[in-house]
Amino acid sequence: MAAPRQTSPPRHPIWAGLTLDRPRVMGVLNVTPDSFSDGGTVDPETAIAAGLAMRDDGADIVDVGGESARPGASPTPPDVERARILPVIRGLTAAGVLVSVDTSHAETMAAALDAGASIVNDITALTHDPASAAVVAARGCPVILMHMRGTPATMMALARYDDVLAEVTAELHTRIEAAERAGIRRDAIAIDPGFGFAKHPAHSLALLRGLSALTTLGFPIVAGVSRKSFIGAASGEAEPARRFPGSIAAGLFALAQGAAVLRVHDVRGTKQAIRVWHALSVTEPFSEDVGLPFRNAKD
């Protein structure tokens, strides 16, 4: 069987202040009682400690969310969402962590940016709240536009595709055009195909196999494959928290198809895997910020 085509990210574009000449890692910090695999942390001190640990393990970004987006989840009132995440964002940014806020509510976006967050990560690609695009445009902040249909409560009923790769690409293109019309700069935009969101496992697997097609849109790709249901379906592992090996396999495949950022739960292990993958995928020596300094070693 042929190896996956190596489609390395463009050499030196910059997004959110990060050069994308090497893979970047976004750590998932859900400050919720009910996220699909890691909910239950709503105490700010505990959440801040977890975010700092991700930073220390090598996360380039810590993605803070206060509303569960698991299939079938009920909406969280925005004021409750803000109460959960704002103390955490303040604590992390005070320590120098680059924070993205995972929200679909314009007021929460604005409050999170005021609290020190730098990036907006919206699973609805700025469709849920009519005021959200204006907030992002006015602040000039980086934004991740994710593909999803419907809401977490309804999305799986809308998981119907004739060609999932073509349809996701076209629907993301539509959202990119809408963002630009709203005044959001092209260099602020990254895209996320939304693995598991309005997608059954077969859809997510097909989307990942063809992920390199999304590079034609010309934007950095954020791949959130960690612990997703398609990994459980492919591996037979029913427990999300035990899907780390499958998450690594899927994440490295995504990088080979051109993804620039991996959104993960297990930062330390992912960073180790990326260092080895990077060593096997490139010809230049390691730099200090990628892995160990290059040396001619026999051991």
Domain span at residue 40? 32-281
Q: Is residue 10 part of a domain?
A: no
Percent of the chain with pLDDT over 70: 87
Structure-block tokens of residue 1:
């069987």
- Arithmetic mean of pLDDT, 196-206: 97
Question: Which of 263, 271, 275, 298 is the catalytic position?
Answer: 263
Give the three-state DSSP class for 82.
Answer: helix
Strand boundaries in the chain, DSSP class E: 14-15, 18-19, 24-30, 61-65, 99-102, 119-122, 143-146, 189-192, 222-223, 261-264
Q: Which string of b and e fits 255-285 if b means at least 16 CB within 10 Å?
A: bbbbbbbbbbbbbbebbebbbebbeeeeeee
Q: Is the pLDDT of residue 264 over 50?
A: yes
More confident residue, 290 or 235: 235
Q: In the numeric block, which tokens belong to residue 6?
A: 């190596």
For CA atoms 126, 131, 133, 135, the dihedral sign is negative
Q: Is the dihedral of CA 218, 222, 225, 228 positive or negative?
A: negative
Closest CA to 211 of 168, 150, 178: 168
Give the C-alpha distances (Å, rounded to integers) separating 246 from 19, 180, 227, 232, 250: 27, 36, 8, 8, 6
Residue 225 domain flag: yes
pLDDT in tens, 84-119: 999 999 999 999 999 999 999 999 999 999 999 999
Q: Using an 8 Å Cβ cutoff, are 117 and 98 in contact? A: no
Confidence at 291, pLDDT banded by 50, 70, 90? very low
Q: What are 65's strand-pairing partners?
A: 30, 102
Q: What is the pLDDT of residues 129-159, one digit of tens each?
A: 999 999 999 999 999 999 999 999 999 999 9
User: Predicted confidence band at 292 (pLDDT cuts at 50, 70, 90)?
Assistant: very low
| Residue 90: inside a domain | yes
Give the total number of structural domains in the chain.
1
* pLDDT per position as a tens digit, 163-177: 999 999 999 999 999
Does residue 106 belong to any structural domain of this protein?
yes
Instruction: Summarize pLDDT for 15-67 with one digit per residue, the tens.
Output: 999 999 999 999 999 998 865 555 556 789 999 999 999 999 999 999 999 99
Residues 213 and 270: their CA atoms lie apart, in Å, by: 24
**Residue 286 lies inside a defined structural domain of this protein:** no
Query: What's 180's domain CATH number?
Result: 3.20.20.20
In the residue annotation, 268 being an active-site residue is answered as no
Q: Is residue 130 part of a domain?
A: yes
* Domain membership flag for residue 293: no
**Closest Cα to residue 220, out of 249, 261, 256, 160?**
261
pTM for this prediction: 0.89
State the alpha helices, DSSP H only, in 106-211. Answer: 106-114, 132-139, 164-181, 201-209
Q: For residues 197 and 70, what is the distance between their CA atoms, to the nearest angstrom?
A: 8
Task: State residue 25's pLDDT score.
Answer: 98
Kindly report, residue by residue over 76-85, the tens digit of the pLDDT: 999 999 999 9
Among residues 240, 184, 176, 174, the alpha carbon closest in space to that of 30 is found at 240
Is 64 a member of any domain?
Answer: yes
Question: Of 139, 175, 228, 243, which residue is the catalytic one?
Answer: 228
70 an active-site residue? no
DSSP 8-state symbol, 73: P
